[in-house]
């Protein structure tokens, strides 16, 4: 009998450890998913930062280029006083159009990068919300199952208590009758 109880205890310990391992595995899976999700968000934010940084440096470079162009144009104007003014205006206009086209292409590229980053982050947020809702639903279901299980166990125990009370009453009655017979 003692060995039976000891084996039963060992089986209970093994079952508890299996449950604990299953919980740890579940937590580890959740951590891996969370890490991957955070990594995607981090990558998207880094791309956004690169695009914004490139925009700032692009503006600085354009200002420096404009200053250098202006200085070189001033020098050229001093050297070439006799240049036709219409041709100079035409050249300035075409240079400005080229610069504007480059700026527009650069801004489009940045806009695309930012849009992609925002889209990635939105998708990750939707996925996280969906996982949260699914886990919430699963936990609610598990809670209901546990409550039902506990209620059933409670009912069984109440019935056992009733049966034991009845058995106790019978034994007491039998004991009384035996004592009265002996007297």
Q: Which of 21-25, 74-78, 133-137 has the lowest mean pLDDT?
A: 74-78
Q: What pTM, to 2 d.p., does this model score?
A: 0.46
Residue 2: the pLDDT is 46
pLDDT (tens digit per residue) in 122-134: 888 888 889 889 9
Q: Between residues 68 and 149, which one has the greater pLDDT?
A: 149
**Interacting residues of 114 by C-beta distance below 8 A, sequence separation 6+:** 48, 51, 52
Q: 44 exposed, middle or buried (CB, 10 Å; 0-12, 13-18, 19+)? A: buried
Span 166-171, average pLDDT: 95
pLDDT (tens digit per residue) in 44-102: 878 877 877 776 665 556 666 666 666 666 555 555 544 455 555 566 667 778 878 88
Domain ranges of the chain: 2-145
Residue 174: the pLDDT is 93
pLDDT at 140 over 80: yes
pLDDT at 40 over 60: yes
* 158 Ramachandran zone, left/alpha/beta (phi>0; psi -120 to 50): alpha
Residue 172: the pLDDT is 94
Span 160-183, average pLDDT: 91
Residue 50: the pLDDT is 80
Torsion of CA 149, 153, 158, 164, to 10 degrees: 170
pLDDT at 109 over 50: yes
How far apart (Å, rounded) are the C-alpha atoms in residues 15 and 18?
5
Residue 1: the pLDDT is 40
**Interacting residues of 140 by C-beta distance below 8 A, sequence separation 6+:** none
Residue 71: the pLDDT is 62
Residue 89: the pLDDT is 55
């Amino acid at each position: 009998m003692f060995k039976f109880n000891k084996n039963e205890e060992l089986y209970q310990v093994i079952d508890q450890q299996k449950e604990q391992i299953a919980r740890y595995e579940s937590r580890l899976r959740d951590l891996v998913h969370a890490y991957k999700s955070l990594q995607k968000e981090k990558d998207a934010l880094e791309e956004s930062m690169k695009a914004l940084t490139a925009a700032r440096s692009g503006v600085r470079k354009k200002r420096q280029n404009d200053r250098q162009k202006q200085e070189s144009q001033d020098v050229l104007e001093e050297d070439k006083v006799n240049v036709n003014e219409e041709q100079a205006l035409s050249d300035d206009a075409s240079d400005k159009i080229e610069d504007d086209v480059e700026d527009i292409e650069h801004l489009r590229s940045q806009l695309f990068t930012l849009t992609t980053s925002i889209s990635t982050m939105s998708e990750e947020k939707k996925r996280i919300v969906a996982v949260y809702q699914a886990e919430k639903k699963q936990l609610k279901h598990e809670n209901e199952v546990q409550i039902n299980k506990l209620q059933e166990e409670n009912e069984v125990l109440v019935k056992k208590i009733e049966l034991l009370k009845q058995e106790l009453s019978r034994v007491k009655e039998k004991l009384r009758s035996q004592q009265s017979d002996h007297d």
